[in-house]
Chains A and B, each alone.
Chain A
Amino acid sequence: MIEVCGLCKEFERNRRGEGKKQKVKKETFLAVDHVSLEAYEGEIIGILGPNGAGKTTLLRMLGMLMSPTEGSIVLTDEHGREIKELTEKKAAIGYLSGNTKLYPRFSVREYLQFLGELYGFDKRQIEKRSREIFKVLDMEEFVDNRIEKLSTGQTQRASIARCLMADPKVYILDEPTLGLDILSADAIIEFMREQKENGKIVLYSTHYLEEAQILCDRIYMIREGKVVAHGTPGALMARTETENLRAAFHAVYQMGDDSRAGFENDSTKEKIEGVRS
């Protein structure tokens, strides 16, 4: 499982001062502001929020690409032991975002070969795994082309293949269905479901609320770096007395700060328990 406690990330930004000269001054702000969350095996967790809310920064910290200014991320294996070594953590996490591009001068097959060797598989294992992955993601026809020649949907499937190759315990996916056609997007949603069945943890951010509503076990809504609401999609809709997640989203973001604080508190423990049992 992943247990995140009081996670913060500080960034700098410029702001014009109030005084007469209106000097531009640098100031720090928290892009991620004391976020705590947990995710268990066999769960799909949705991270929702408007642009600039801090979703990507949060996921980057979870993917071990950024180090938090404050707070901790504890990753445990199936036996409940904490994984401490950075390379082992990275090996246990499959991270995918719009920025994790693949080597354009490699073919998909070569790329997976390279990954397999890096993760320490032997030749036969690599061969077998690649063949399985190609079949599952229906990508046999383009695996020997250079990645620079692939279409958007094909590239995204190749990225998924990259994550699959390592067989990680946790998938961290930053807007994996962004800009894909319905068929490709469905393939990826299907992939996330399968991983959940296999007892993996999937953490993913998206702007497609309908997709999140049917897919996610639990949802964290983030605004200005803070978690403003969280719970199962059903619970969120019930609390806001709305019929779908889109309406619930609007309702949450229209609420004042006071009601939000209370809102988050009672939707934590019991709902997690409910999901687990």
Chain B
Amino acid sequence: MKKIGVLIRKELLDILRDKKTLVMMVVVPIVLYPLLIIGMTLVIGSIMSSQENAVYIIGYETGYEETAKALEEIVSRNPQEFDTEIEFISFDKEEADSMLRFADVALRFKEQENGSLQVEISYDSANQNSSYACSMIENVVELYREDLVAEGLTKQGLDESFLYPVVSTTVDSASQAESFGMDIGGSIGMMMIVMILMGALYPAIDVTAGEKERGTLETLLTLPVTNFQMIFSKFVSVAVIACVTAVLSLVSMVGSVLFLIYGLAGDPIVEMGFSISGMMSTAPVLVVTMIVSALLCSALCMCFCVFAKSFKEANNYVTPLLLVVMIASMAGMIPSVTLDAKTALIPIVNVSLMMKQVLSQQFSLALAGLCNLVNLGASALIIWVLAKMYDSENILFADGFRSFRLFQKRSDIKEGTVPDSGDLMISVTVLFLLMLYVGSAASVRLGFWGTLVSQGLILAIPLLLVWYMKSDVRTLFSLQLPKRGSVIGSILLYLGVYCLIMVLSVALTAVFPESTENVELTFSEMSKQPFVILLLVTALMPAVGEEILFRGLLFGSIRENGKKRDQERSAAVYAILISSAVFGLFHMSLVKFFTTFLLGAVFAYIVWMTGSIYVTMCLHFVNNAFSMAVMKYPQTIGKVLPFLMAEELSVPEIAGILTVGVACAVLGLILLRRSNKTIVN
């Protein structure tokens, strides 16, 4: 802990002594933003006032002087609406075709057969003055029409209400602050994220690739510092700088806006529905969000920059990150997207959405907390994985893509290669995208049978990867028969954890109520199928495919890779945590995440202890088959095990299930450990 403090102090001092960083951090926000904001507003203001001060010339053919006079009279009658000078000029028939050369807008009048007058307004859309004059003259003509109608009605002895039996007016119930938040809240969120990212980018490159380029990293690695201490201290320093940059930017932006509103002798140049005191009440939330966003952005930047060997390389890696983050941060600008329990789970997007809510002063503290928690968790995960992934050798001497063996030619890959972290990341991402697009398309087209496509993908991608890598499938996937004792232990452990999961999921559904509509829809679709086919498609296929993917490929590869640097034990624990976290995320539901995570962890533990994936395949099959049975024959199951079907559990029931669960789990653990010892011996 003390070492981290020393390291952070050193990093900050080092960053702050770099002139380039200082320029990015201080000069850009303090000088550039006010210049841009005030400059732009003044320029736009002067353009607008020059438009209003101009004299617009309207040309028309001779012979319609009376109509022109009437139009002119309308303009002078409504000085508020038409606050510019308009001059009507008549042109002879011969000149009529070239009217637009002299006038901003040309009018041609034509008497229709039914006695009405058609007005053709020609203008030059490439000319701003012409466009402005055109829109103005359209309004004038419209008013003229109303005048004529009113005139006609009075002639007939009718009231105006004859023409307008129904009149609608709109009243905006949103307070000024609310509409302000909706209008610019989204873009403020985006600007904040981009500012933080810009602030984080330079120091992130400096402390990783920069340090490598200067050759000081090798020195740092000879010091008695662990990788975690090193990466964590760098991360904190980058986040601090990012925060400072963001605060400076925000202050200078707000300052220049305030200057625009009140600065010039109390005469507001720009009016905004924006109450300073209202903003103050949300300030604590804003500050927390900003700090958490800074952490997240720094973690993301670090994640890319650690790969790079030089400044130039780091810049190349960071460009895609910048694009993705910018686009994600634009979410707040899409009107229909709002912050809810689902969107709050997507990092960056949630910040942007939250800023919109905070600025329109109608945010929920719970959702804001969830967003920040998610982002904090994401950054912690990134940093933890980074520290694990990179031993000093990787950081120093390997080129950036060493952990992506997938990019090598297959003929260059040695027999028995274990997929590295980069390969796993790519294949899981590809699989996820395929499931999202191909899988869901297949489900829409083929209905129930579409799930077969997804299941096939889950099985195919890992097999393709290990084929390409020429991996040793037997050890990687733990393809061996288990000892009898360990099987009994595994079953007991599974039963125990199943009880715990049952209680957990009841508790979770109470905390996070989720709509069950979708689930019921697929259930009704499923229950049409005969039970055998159901078992095959929803129990057997996932049992094989998902076990191969999560317990075979992910758990196996991460553990094998981890063994190279860690003790066998910590490598396995790391592999269990990562593989089951991905397993949990794969089910894409907040409630299911925790339960599937737990189940995945237990399965991975069983594979580790028994050395056999067949055990968990069977357990996974039983698990899925059982829930299918519950769904298909609720009555029968309900009679045998009534508490399974209960919506809510009473306290003694919970206590009973928990006791049985814990007892089973502990017994299973003991059996597993004992049988594992005999295997080792």
Contacts and interface: CB of A to CB of B under 8 A. Distances in A.
A100 B6 contact: no
Contacts of B224: 87-88, 90-91, 118-119
Contact of A106 (B13, B223, B393, B408): B13
Contacts of B408: 26
Contacts of A117: 6
B215 A118 contact: no
Contacts of A162: 219
B225 A102 contact: no
Contacts of B393: 65-67
Interface string A153-177: 0000000001000100000000000
Nearest to B229: A87
A101 interface: yes
Contact of A118 (B214, B225, B411, B412): B225
A52 interface: no
A93 interface: yes
Given A86-B226, A87-B226, A118-B225, A67 B391 contact: yes
B283 to A, nearest CB: 35
Size range of the chain A interface in the assembly: 20 to 34
Nearest to A28: B414
A110 B3 CA distance: 16
Contact of B223 (A105, A110, A118): A118
B218 A100 contact: yes
Nearest to B227: A86
A102 B10 CA distance: 12
Given A67-B565, A118-B224, A102 B6 contact: no
B458 interface: no
B386 interface: no
Contacts of A100: 215, 218-219, 222
Interface in B388-424: 391-393, 396-397, 408, 411-412, 414
Given A66-B393, A66-B397, A103 B216 contact: yes
Interface string A75-115: 00000000000111011011101011111111000100011
A94 B221 CA distance: 11
Contacts of B396: 65
Interface in A16-44: 25-26, 28
A233 interface: no
Which of A63, A114, A118 has the most chain B CB within a 10 Å cutoff? A118
A262 interface: no
B14 interface: yes
Interface in B223-245: 223-226
A118 B7 contact: yes
A105 B225 CA distance: 21
Nearest to A114: B10
Nearest to A147: B216
Contacts of B2: 120
Nearest to A163: B222
Nearest to B17: A105
A90 B222 contact: yes
Nearest to B396: A65
Contacts, number: 77
Contacts of B216: 101-104
A105 B14 contact: yes
Contacts of A87: 224-226
B514 interface: no
Contacts of A67: 391, 393, 564-565
A66 B392 CA distance: 7
B222 A63 contact: yes
A45 to B, nearest CB: 19
B73 interface: no
B218 A99 contact: yes
Interface string A56-75: 00000001111100000000
Contacts of A119: 224
B219 A101 contact: yes
Interface string B9-41: 110011001100000000000000000000000
A115 B219 CA distance: 11
A28 B415 CA distance: 13
A95 B223 CA distance: 9
Contacts of B7: 118
A234 B77 CA distance: 116
Contact of B222 (A25, A28, A95): A95
Nearest to B392: A65
Nearest to A61: B393
Interface in B202-227: 214-216, 218-219, 221-226
B561 to A, nearest CB: 13
Nearest to B214: A101
Contacts of B412: 25-26
A103 B220 CA distance: 10
Contacts of B215: 99-101
Contacts of B225: 87, 90, 118
B223 A115 contact: yes
B390 to A, nearest CB: 12
Contacts of A103: 10, 14, 214, 216
Contacts of A86: 226
Contacts of A64: 222, 392
A96 B392 CA distance: 16
A25 B413 CA distance: 10
Contacts of A66: 392-393, 397
A65 B6 contact: no
Contacts of B392: 64-66
Contacts of B565: 67
Contacts of A110: 13
Contacts of A106: 13-14, 17
Nearest to A26: B412
A273 to B, nearest CB: 32
A25 to B, nearest CB: 7
A156 to B, nearest CB: 13
A106 B222 CA distance: 18
A273 B218 CA distance: 35
Interface string B562-604: 0011000000000000000000000000000000000000000
B226 A114 contact: no
A106 B392 CA distance: 23
A38 B137 CA distance: 98
A120 B1 CA distance: 11
B14 A65 contact: no
Nearest to B393: A66
Which of A105, A110, A115 has the most chain B CB within a 10 Å cutoff? A105
B226 A65 contact: no
A104 B411 contact: no
A190 to B, nearest CB: 23
A66 B412 CA distance: 24
Contacts of A88: 224
Contacts of A104: 214, 216
Contacts of B226: 86-87
A115 to B, nearest CB: 7
A212 B2 CA distance: 41
Interface in A219-254: none
B18 A105 contact: yes
Contacts of A26: 408, 412
Nearest to A91: B224
Contacts of B221: 65
Contacts of A97: 218
Nearest to A103: B216
Which of B216, B225, B414 has the most chain A CB within a 10 Å cutoff? B216
Contacts of A105: 13-14, 17-18
Given A106-B13, A110-B13, 11 more contacts: A26-B412, A28-B414, A66-B397, A67-B391, A86-B226, A91-B224, A99-B218, A102-B219, A105-B17, A118-B223, A119-B224
9 contacts: A26-B408, A26-B412, A65-B218, A66-B392, A99-B218, A102-B216, A105-B17, A114-B6, A120-B2
Shortest 8 CB-CB contacts between residues of A and residues of B: A101-B215, A91-B224, A105-B17, A100-B219, A87-B224, A95-B222, A26-B412, A90-B224
